[in-house]
Amino acid sequence: MDRRLVILWFTIFIDLLGFTLFIPVMPFFGEHVGATEFMVILSSAVFSLLVFLCSPIWGSASDRFGRRPVIIASVVISAVSYVVFAHADSVIWLFISRILTGMGSGNIAAAQAYVSDISEPKDRAKRIGLVVGAAWGVAFASAPLIGGYIFHHYGGIVSVGYFATSLCLLNLLGVLFVLPESLKVKDHARTINFKPVASTFASLKDLRFRDIFIIGFVYITAFSMMNVSISFFWKDRYALDVDQVGMLMAIVGVMSAISQGALVGVFQKAMG
C-alpha cells in the first residue's frame, strides 16, 4: 500500500481517538471530577460543535497553504488537548480539553482532500472508504477497548490521556518525515471559511449535495446520540464496569470496520 495512505489513515485514526478512546471512561471520569451526566454529555456536544466549526476552516486553509501544514497543526493541537485531558481535575478543564480536541479533529477534511489529490477518479471512492471508513471502524473497534482497559488497570485518566498523546507524537513524526505535500498548486487567493453555518446552508441549495448531506446528518446524529449516552445506560442499568463498556463498543467498531473498510469498495464497484 502507498505509505502516504498509511500515514493519512493513522492521522484520521488519531482524530477519531478524540471521540472513541474516551467513550467508556467518561461516566467514570465524570464521577471523579464531580460532573453530572448532563455535563459530561454536553462536553461531547461541545467537541462535536468544534469539529463542525473548524472543519471548513481547516479545509479552506489546506487549499491555501497546503494539506501538510494543516495536518501538522491539527496533530499538535490534538496532542496538547490530550495532555490537558490527562490532568483535568474539574469540569472547566474537561471542557477546555474537549474544545481543543474538537479543534484538532477538524482536519479530516484536509486528509480527505489529500487522498483525492493523489488518487485517480476511478480509485477515489475506494481509497476514501479504505482510509476514512476503515480508520473510523478500527478506531471504534480498538480505542474504547484500549481506553477502558488502560483506565481500569493503569492509572486512570492520566494514563489514557498520555497514551493518546504518544500516538499523536508518533503520527507527527510520520507526517514530518514520510508525508510530502500533495497539493501541486496552492490557491493563495483562497478565502479562509470562517462561516460554517452560512456555507452549510449555501451547500444545501446545491441539489447535488442536499440529499446526501441530509442523509449523513440524520445518520451521524443518531449514531452520536447513541455513543455519548450508551455508556451511562450500560453502567447504570446493567452495572457494567469500564472494561465491559469498552468491549461492547469494540463490537460496534468491528462491524463498522468490516462494512466501511471492506464493503464500500465492493458496493461502489457494483452499483456506482
| pLDDT tens column, 15-34 | 888 778 888 888 888 877 88
Do 102 and 42 meet the contact criterion of CB atoms below 8 Å apart? no
Do 257 and 141 meet the contact criterion of CB atoms below 8 Å apart? yes
Do 2 and 118 meet the contact criterion of CB atoms below 8 Å apart? yes
Query: What stretches of 105-241 show up as alpha helix (H) in DSSP?
Result: 108-117, 121-128, 134-153, 157-178, 196-204, 207-238
Whether 261 shows a pLDDT value over 70: the answer reads no
Question: What pLDDT digit, counting tens, does each position of 196-206 carry?
Answer: 888 888 888 88
Question: What pLDDT digit, counting tens, does each position of 209-220 carry?
Answer: 888 888 988 988
Q: Please, what are the domains in the chain? A: 3-182+192-271 (1.20.1250.20)
Q: What is the mean pLDDT of residues 80-107?
A: 91
Return the minimum-mean-pLDDT range out of 136-145, 173-182, 216-225, 257-266: 257-266
* pLDDT of amino acid 1: 63
* pLDDT of amino acid 96: 95
Percentage above 90 pLDDT, the chain: 21
Q: How many residues are given for the chain?
A: 272
Whether 265 shows a pLDDT value over 80: the answer reads no
Q: 17 CB contacts (<8 Å, ≥6 apart)?
A: 139, 143, 164, 167
